[in-house]
Amino acid sequence: MSDAYILGIESSCDETGAAVVRSGEQMVSNVVFSQIATHQPYGGVVPELASREHLRAIVPVVRKALADAGQTYQSIDAIAVTQGPGLAGALLVGISYAKALAFALDKPLIAVNHLEGHIHAVLLEERQKGNHEVAFPVLALVVSGGHTHLYLAEEKGEGWSYQNIGHTRDDAAGEAFDKVAKLLALGYPGGPVVDRLSAHGDPTAVKFPPSQLKHRDRKDRGKPEDDRPRFDFSYSGIKTAVLRYVETHNMQPGIEARKKALSEITKPSWQDYLAHCDKATLDLVASFQRTMVEDLVAKTLAATREYEVATLFVTGGVAANNELRQRFERDAAMEGLPVFFPSRPLSTDNAAMIAAAAYPKFLAQEFAPADFSAEAGLALSAR
Ligand code: KG4
Ligand code: ZN
């Protein structure tokens, strides 16, 4: 089979992405237009603004992805687009545009699950480095602003199959980073700033109680019983614990002062935030991050032992976190378990991962029906 050039389009949240990937193994172009500046004043993604920004960005972003790749609308072999999960209005922009392109150009259209995309970001980069051998079973931790999910992934014939063995019961890990940052007036999105500031605080200064999951998830009832345990997460408790700590340690005046000082700086850098943080704030931030990292690593590695996996993938926006990477690398190495992360640009949302995940579907001629639409709560499951 000759090379296939797939144009990927991603618009599930607050990044408009387009990319061209050759045969699932070579990223030829990757363009991401971030809407952070639009949402920053609100401390989180405003869904309607996200849809409008996607509409504004999508045509130039796709044009640039094709130009960077030396491709044209006519020369690509297929168009892949994120179907879900994500914000419905945001997804619809990418899907409508991809459908129109596929129709006008008479090219196949492939619908991709965003979470499958995050998993394929790892595979794409490994193949690009020449590593075509991944030992199975693979466990993938997808940890982002919207998800904290564990999937057993396996290659079945030309396609991939996924089994969910754990998910967050409430907030996603990235959401906890963002909410804690918002509470402490550390900007949006919070993860990257918390990551940088944590290196300047004492991670053992504040003790947070471990997250507790006493009951089986209601959403999992009624499903056939698997006698193997699940590995669920919960991060709303730690967010509340940070809030309580702020209240009991009278940190609100310092937060207000930081908010005011930072509002006078256009596009504050993490050094600006650092300059406006006292020791108590840095210790709190570092302790929060340490607790999050330890919980993610401990549960994921427990799952790798229970399911006897051969390879671990850690992907999604939070996989960009320095301490998380170091911990996974150190602890997985102690168990002789190979662990792979995407590079930082491919950890957060992008369209190269969508084009890469589409390639096995392209080979299997698994094309989207003409009436397919956005699915905000799309699950990733077995084939
Ligand atoms: O994968 P992504 O771009 O979008 C979703 O699918 O959600 O992930 C964005 C999330 C945000 O919550 C952001 O704060 C978090 O990833 N994030 C980080 C870091 N970089 C991004 N969290 C912790 N440390 C980081 N370095
Ligand atoms: Zn994502």
pLDDT of residue 301: 98
Taking the CA of residue 118 as reference, the ligand 1 atom at the shortest distance is 1
Task: Give the Cβ contact number of residue 12 at 10 Å.
Answer: 29
Half-sphere exposure of 60 (CA within 13 A, CB side): 7
What Å distances lie between residue 312 and 58, 137, 186, 309, 339, CA to CA?
Answer: 34, 9, 32, 7, 5
Q: Are 143 and 172 in contact (CB under 8 A)?
A: yes
DSSP per residue over 84-99, as a string?
ESS-HHHHHHHHHHHH
Q: Token match 């004043």: residue? A: 41
Q: Which ligand is nearest to the CA of 192?
A: 1
Taking the CA of residue 196 as reference, the ligand 1 atom at the shortest distance is 26
DSSP per residue over 239-275, as a string?
HHHHHHHHHHTT-HHHHHHHHHHHHTSSS--HHHHHH
pLDDT of residue 133: 86
- 320: CA distance to ligand 2 center in Å? 12
189 upstream amide cis, omega within 30 of 0? yes
Ligand 1 atom 7 nearest Cα: 145
Taking the CA of residue 347 as reference, the ligand 1 atom at the shortest distance is 1
pLDDT of residue 271: 97
Ligand 1 atom 21 nearest Cα: 317
- Mutating to test ligand 1, I would choose from 10, 144, 182, 238 the residue with most ligand atoms within 8 A of its C-beta, which is 144
Q: Are 290 and 323 in contact (CB under 8 A)?
A: yes
pTM, to two decimals: 0.94
Contacts 24+ apart (CB under 8 A), 217-223: 217/167, 217/169
- 349: CA distance to ligand 2 center in Å? 5
Q: CA 169, CA 298: separation in Å to the nearest integer?
A: 17
What Å distances lie between residue 112 and 116, 118, 312, 337, CA to CA?
Answer: 7, 11, 22, 29
Point out the residues of the chain with pLDDT beneath 70: 1, 214-226, 382-383
Taking the CA of residue 15 as reference, the ligand 1 atom at the shortest distance is 3
Q: Which ligand is nearest to the CA of 177?
A: 1
Q: Which domains does the chain have, with CATH numbers?
A: 5-130+347-363 (3.30.420.40), 138-337 (3.30.420.40)
pLDDT of residue 219: 63
Q: CA 214, CA 301: separation in Å to the nearest integer?
A: 20
pLDDT of residue 209: 85
pLDDT of residue 227: 72
Q: Which residues line ligand 1 (CB under 6 A)?
A: 13, 144-146, 174, 177-178, 189-192, 195, 316-318, 320-321, 348-349
pLDDT of residue 225: 52
**Could you give the dihedral angle defined by the CA atoms of residues 291, 307, 143 and 57, in that order, rounded to the nearest 10 degrees?**
170
Ligand 1 atom 14 nearest Cα: 191
pLDDT of residue 221: 53
Taking the CA of residue 190 as reference, the ligand 1 atom at the shortest distance is 14
